[in-house]
Amino acid sequence: MEFFNREQEKEEIINILKTEPRVVNFIYGPINSGKSTLIENLIENLPRDYIVFYINLRERMISSYNDFIEILFEYEFEEEKKIKKAKELIPGVIEGVKMLSGIPISTKVFEKIFAEEKPKNAFRCIMKVIEEIKRKNKIPVLIIDEMQKIGDVKVNGLLIYEVFNFFIRLTKEKHLCHVFAISSDSLFIETVYADAKLSGRCRYLLVDDFDKETAKKFLGKYGFSVKEQNIAYNYFGGKPLDLSNLVSLSGGSNIKKIADDGISERMYHLRDMLDKLLYVKINISSDGENIPVKREKLIEVMRMFEDTGEIKDINISRAEKRYLINENILFIDPIRNIIKPQSKLDLVAIRDVLDEVEKSGKTRRLNKR
């Protein structure tokens, strides 16, 4: 499917790329809003003077530092032979290339880094590669997608802090390389945002679902009538994944049937969650403590979406809020201080399940009488 729109977001990122790197950029947004697609499209259209390292952590399980290292570096190059130094390796590797899916180093150096388990040494190596790229008059860009996947990995302390320190060195201190970290895990973004050590050193860029006008234009491009565009938007909102699935599945007919399938699946998940809470004690961790999730309070939080698609994140019961975010039902935007369902389908499912809860409550009361 052809890439659609995102003019504003593209312009913002291109402007960042034109200036000297000064902060770490975080790209965040709800699940399936098109963050990775936007970045991939941007890379494709960048001029030749950029060299992009696009490292996607999605593809593999990352449970240790070495798992991370394996995905971070790329080795075994044609040019390599007996070369060990970045200075000799880099010119050949970047020749005619705009994007690499790992930091290029020689196999020998990789083996050393792998055995040492010292992040500082790995980062020193990356720094050398980046300096070499600059020496060739190219602009280096480092992009890590699915950043939250290393959120819990430990090497002595938490790996993520070592990584952030390195990112700050690359940007704020040395202005050597543009850095973008992408994540759709909003609790992760919230933790980053709340971290005092990172404050003033990061910039946050939201890639949200399409707005109504853009969503309708997108559907219009694929032949949906205005009536069909409105029906589709009512069910799917502006979620790019849902809209592109709709285009490939329906071509305008069956919109309701496709939406109902999505809603049923989400209702099943919500019902199961509420049912589980009748029998099982569920705790959610926050700042090292476990707080219990209460069924009634969870319903209360869901009720806040009865008349609105978006609420302010003020005075909302913490455990239940975090639980719903963790279950990918709600999305939290700490920068704008709002909470909303991950998609329109989630919103409809929340409302339908609340109706069921209400009705079953009434029958129970009637039966008791």
Out of 25, 36, 106, 148, point to the residue binding Mg ion (CB under 5 A).
36
Q: Which of 21, 34, 238, 262 binds ligand ATP (CB under 6 A)?
A: 34
User: Which parts of 237-296 interact with ligand ATP (CB under 6 A)?
Assistant: 240-241, 244
Residue number of the CB closest to ligand ATP reads 34
Verify binding: residue 183, Mg ion, rule CB under 5 A.
Answer: no
Distance CA 266, CA 349 (A): 6
Q: Determine the residue with CB nearest Mg ion.
A: 36
| Separation between Cα atoms, residue 296 and residue 99, nearest integer Å | 50
Q: What is the DSSP string of 112-149?
A: HHHHH--HHHHHHHHHHHHHHHHHTT-EEEEEEESGGG
Q: Is 29 or 119 the residue whose CB approaches ligand ATP more closely?
A: 29
What does the angle CA 342 – CA 343 – CA 348 come to, to the nearest 5 degrees? 115
Do 354 and 247 contact (CB within 8 A), yes or no? no
Q: Least distance from C-beta 101 to Mg ion, angstroms? A: 15
Report how far Cα 259 is from the mean position of its chain's Cα atoms. Answer: 24
Single out the segment in contact with ligand ATP by CB under 6 A; choices: 28-36, 62-70, 105-113, 119-127.
28-36
Q: CA distances (Å), 245 to each of 8, 188, 236, 262, 263, in order?
A: 24, 28, 11, 11, 15
Q: Does 43 bind ligand ATP (CB under 6 A)?
A: no
Considering the rule CB under 5 A, would residue 25 count as an interface residue with Mg ion?
no
Contact call for residue 343 and ligand ATP (CB under 6 A): no
- In whole angstroms, the minimum distance from the beta carbon of 201 to Mg ion comes to 23
Using the rule CB under 6 A, is 31 a contact of ligand ATP?
Answer: yes
Burial class (CB in 10 A: 0-12, 13-18, 19+), 148: buried
282 binds, among Mg ion, ligand ATP, none (CB under 5 to 8 A by kind): none
Q: Which residues lie near Mg ion (CB under 5 A)?
A: 35-36
